[in-house]
Structure formats: structure tokens, C-alpha cells
Amino acid sequence: MHKIEMSSDVLDRIKGFRHEFHMFGNIIPSRTAHIIVDLQNGFMEPGATVELPVAREIVPNVNRICEAVRAAGGINVFIRYLIDEETQVSWSSWFNDFASPQRRTAMIETFGKDCHGFALWPGLDVQATDLIVDKTRFGAFVPGSSNLHEILQARGIDTLIITGTATNVCCESTARDAMQMNYKVIFVADGNAALTDAEHNATLNNMVTLFADVMTTSELVGFLDSAAAMGQAAE
């Protein structure tokens, strides 16, 4: 698991930005979606093309959040990174400029629709009531990447919980865009995974400053449990 160390300078600075550290603790479960980003074989399997070992370690936390979200009345949305033929053309700057021919081929053979690497990690707690959405860019909200925004809007969702991998790539990209699209974003400090602690913590500093309420799994589950209990008491 990552050693979480947000900058003391950043934490001191945000005290002057807002009234309290956790802005979104008062969760309304029916308007909340847990977005699980790219926890697929191609990122998690030992020896995989884009293996991030810590991604395997966060699975118990992700599953714990999935269970709490269901119990409270929210939804879980599992995101899969997909490389198809159209994407290779429309996102040529990535495939041609940032990847060698060998790397490009490896990625296509990992994250193509019918490839083993494209499948969700088998250790995830995926239930029939959960949703699965494919995206073709790092961020799920980039125009043309997925229909996630439309799905969420149709369900009246205004709060997103972000977990998954990689912290500093697809998770950060999705969270940044979500906040600017007026979602309340909760970024789970021990529910996201990067290649290194430094990369992971750099994203947490970005998130807590301007884009998201950064919580631990235990903090988040506590807020969800409280929301569920209040909902039951009101019935």
C-alpha cells in the first residue's frame, strides 16, 4: 500500500480556502456513484503490460467501499480502458508520439475488446446491480471517451467517489474533469494506486487543493454508514 504523505504546506494552505477539511461528508447515497477506474488484468496481473503492483493491494478497500455504497443506496460503476480501431486514429497523438511501435502493439493486444488484459480483475466484488462502462481515453469524461456523464445524469448523480488505477493518470484525469463538470468528487487516498508513492502523493496534493475531498477508506465508509443509518431512521 502507498505511504500517504500529503504536503504540510498544501494542507496548511487549504485551511484558508474553506471552512472544513471534508466538504462532502454529508453524503446523499441516492445521488452518489462509486467510480472504479481501470482495475483490469492488464494493469494488475503480475507481469502484465502495464502492471501496477499496488493496484492489487487496494482491492480489499475498493470492495469494502462497493459494499458500503450498495448498502447505503448508491451505485458502483466499473470503468474499463478500451483500445479500439477508432481510438487509434482519433487519438493518434498518444499512440504515435508517446509509444514506440512495440509498445503500441503491446497496449492494443492488452486492452482490445476481447483481450485478457481488458477484463476486470477477478478479485473485484462486481454484482449484477453494478454498472460497467468502457472508456477510450485516460479520463472518462473527455468528449467521445465514454457515455458515463449521460448515465450519471439520467440517475440524478451529483457526487462521485473515485478509486482505481493509475492514481496520477486515469483516476486524476477523471476526477479533474468531473469537478469542472460540477460533480462533488471524493478521491480515496488508500483506494487509488500508482507506480510510486511520489506519483500517488503528488496527485493527492493536487486533488485536495482544488479538485476533490480526499478521504481514507475508513473515513468514507463511516460517512456512508451514517448516511444509510439516517435514511433508515427517516423511513
The full set of domain ranges for the chain reads 8-234
| pLDDT tens per residue across span 186-219 | 999 999 999 999 999 999 999 999 999 999 999 9
* The pLDDT value given to residue 16: 82
Q: Are 38 and 95 in contact, with CB atoms under 8 Å apart?
A: no
Q: What is the mean pLDDT of residues 105-128?
A: 96
Which strands, in side-by-side order, build the sheet including 75-81? 131-135, 75-81, 32-37, 159-165, 184-193, 213-215
- Domain 8-234 is of which CATH architecture? 3-Layer(aba) Sandwich (3.40)
Residue 155 · residue 75 · CB < 8 Å: yes
Cell numbers at 35, concatenated: 467510480
**At residue 25, does pLDDT exceed 60?**
yes
Whose cell is 504523505? That residue is: 5
Beta carbons of 176 and 35 less than 8 angstroms apart: no
- Label residue 235 by pLDDT band (50, 70, 90): low
Query: What CA dihedral angle connects 8, 14, 20 and 22, to 10 degrees?
Result: -70
Q: Which residues of 7-42 are buried (b: 16+ CB within 10 A; e: fewer)?
A: eeeeeeeeeeeeeeeeebbebbbebbbbbbbbbbbb
CA distance 172 to 140: 10
pLDDT at residue 231 tops 80: no
pTM of the model: 0.95
What is the widest separation between alpha-carbon atoms in the chain? 59
Cis peptide before 229 (omega within 30 of 0): no
For residue 222, give the C-alpha cell: 463511516
pLDDT value at residue 159: 97
For residue 220, pLDDT over 70 is answered with yes
